[in-house]
Amino acid sequence: MSDDNSAKKAKPEAVGAPRRRMGRTQRARDKRRQRQHNRRRRLVGALGVALVTMAVVAAVFLGSKFWHSGPVVDYTGDGGQQVLIEVEEGDYTTAIAETMLAAGVIANVGTFLDAAQGNAAIAAIQPGFYRLRAEIPAAAAVQQLIDPENRVGKLVIPEGRQLDDITDMKTDRVTPGVFSLIAEASCLDLNGDRHCLKAQDLRRAAETETPEALSVPDWAIGPVTKMGRDHRRIEGLITAGTWNVDPTGPASTVLSKLISQSAAELAKSGLPGTAEQLGMTPYELLVVASLVQREALPQDFAKVARVIDNRLNEPQRLEFDSTVNYPLDRQEVATTDADRAKVTPWNTYASDGLPATPICSPGVEAIKAAEHPDPGDWLYFVTVDKDGTTLFTHNYQEHLSNIQMALGSGVLDSSR
């Protein structure tokens, strides 16, 4: 490189006053300013770290509180409106708590489970419908759930009841039928309002709904259809026992569920298979069970079942007064000659074979007796005293003598 080019290079210039020319006072002032600047930077950095740490701690604390406790742990106070919940078959306490949470009764499942811990009454809660207050403390929910007054829709059908009410001709005492019992069980008082189904609404649904809509089992469709629009076509398909009625359901839905549940219980008991073994249909076996229920006391059920079987095999008419009485609003044990001569779908004095339908809701014992009759050759039986003593025989003349005993004790009325 030539000297000329070197001469053209820019020479460095000093910035600011030359150091050698700074006075001692100014140099000291610059050092102080630098030290103050460094201290401010360190303070700001430390404060930033502290703020970040506090934010992280707060987030962890609040997040933990949210996830572990939830927004509401328990309600306080007396609660709000009344609501209806259903406890279903097989529900454990947790499932019941989840149902109450969904209905707005309790605020937290865990809190309810803690309150119910060790409570034998909660563990024994039965399926059904329960009236509870909304937004109540867990402990109050436990108490309301186990209070028998808060269970609604419980239906008890005694053995031997028929669909319609019947009046005793001598005493004028009315025995509520299945329709009346369902109507009573459906009554619900909720937030000051009372709602009940009516027996006539249930009767109308039995008349007008199709067998399929009423959940009539396949083995009963034919006989039920044959009865046309007669409401008694579903007689016996709602069996005796304890059931749950949805108080908010319409008549057709209530009947459908009761018939469906009864059919399921009959299937579980083995009735369809037993009927086949006996050479009968399940419907015929149910009819026999209803006759057994109305004609005898439990200790004689299996003997009466054998009499029915023997007469059907003779063949010989059954001639049961219970079948004469069945369609009558006013009934008496001893029927009249006029009643016995009247042809109806049920009167076994006037027609051969079994009645067209069951004549009542049979209980478990009557059904078992129909399935397993006692061995014997009996064709006749009569109750001979007011204690219920019933005599069975194969001999007609002996039967006539037994009838005289019944007349003498007042069980039978000679004027009829």
What tens digit of pLDDT does each residue of 54-83 get? 443 343 334 333 333 455 689 999 999 999
Percent share of the chain, pLDDT over 90 = 75
Q: What is the pLDDT of residue 330?
A: 81
The structure's pTM equals: 0.80
Q: What is the pLDDT of residue 3?
A: 44
Q: What is the pLDDT of residue 216?
A: 98
* pLDDT tens-digit map of 150-175: 999 999 999 999 999 999 888 899 99
Q: Choose between 329 and 285: higher pLDDT.
A: 285
Candidates 142, 69, 77, 71; CA nearest to 110 is 69
Q: Which residues pair with 290 in a beta bridge?
A: none
Q: Is residue 42 one of the residues assigned to a domain?
A: no
Q: Is residue 32 one of the residues assigned to a domain?
A: no
Q: Is residue 302 one of the residues assigned to a domain?
A: no
Q: Is residue 91 one of the residues assigned to a domain?
A: yes
Q: Is residue 102 one of the residues assigned to a domain?
A: yes
Q: Is residue 97 one of the residues assigned to a domain?
A: yes
The pLDDT-based confidence of 22 (bands split at 50, 70, 90) is very low
Q: Using alpha carbons, list the distances in angstroms from residue 183 to 6, 163, 266, 267, 305.
A: 120, 12, 24, 27, 33
* pLDDT tens-digit map of 30-60: 555 555 555 555 544 544 444 434 443 343 3
In angstroms, the CA 266 to CA 66 distance is 51
Q: What is the overall mean pLDDT for the chain?
A: 86
Is it the case that residue 222 has pLDDT exceeding 70? yes
The pLDDT-based confidence of 331 (bands split at 50, 70, 90) is confident
Is it the case that residue 17 has pLDDT exceeding 50? no
* pLDDT tens-digit map of 78-131: 999 999 999 999 999 999 999 999 999 999 999 999 999 999 999 999 999 999
Q: Is residue 247 one of the residues assigned to a domain?
A: no
Percent share of the chain, pLDDT over 70 = 82
Q: Output DSSP code: residue 105.
A: S
Q: What is the pLDDT of residue 19?
A: 42
Q: What is the pLDDT of residue 10?
A: 41
The pLDDT-based confidence of 132 (bands split at 50, 70, 90) is very high
Q: Is residue 129 one of the residues assigned to a domain?
A: yes
Q: Choose between 1 and 278: higher pLDDT.
A: 278
* pLDDT tens-digit map of 353-384: 999 999 999 999 999 999 999 999 999 999 99
Lowest mean pLDDT among 11-25, 219-233, 295-309: 11-25
Query: Sign (positive/negative) of CA torsion 198, 200, 204, 206?
Result: positive
- The angle formed by the CA atoms of residues 128, 131 and 132, to the nearest 5 degrees, is 125
Q: Using alpha carbons, list the distances in angstroms from residue 299 to 27, 242, 303.
A: 125, 23, 9
- Our count of domains for the chain comes to 1
The pLDDT-based confidence of 16 (bands split at 50, 70, 90) is very low
* pLDDT tens-digit map of 170-196: 889 999 999 999 999 999 999 999 999
CATH of the domain at 138: 3.30.1490.480
Is it the case that residue 394 has pLDDT exceeding 80? yes
* Residue found by looking up tokens 């460094």 in the block: 38
Range of the domain at 109: 81-150
Q: Using alpha carbons, list the distances in angstroms from residue 155 to 131, 194, 201, 241.
A: 16, 18, 17, 8
* Alpha-carbon torsion, ordered 257, 161, 367, 260, to 10 deg: -10
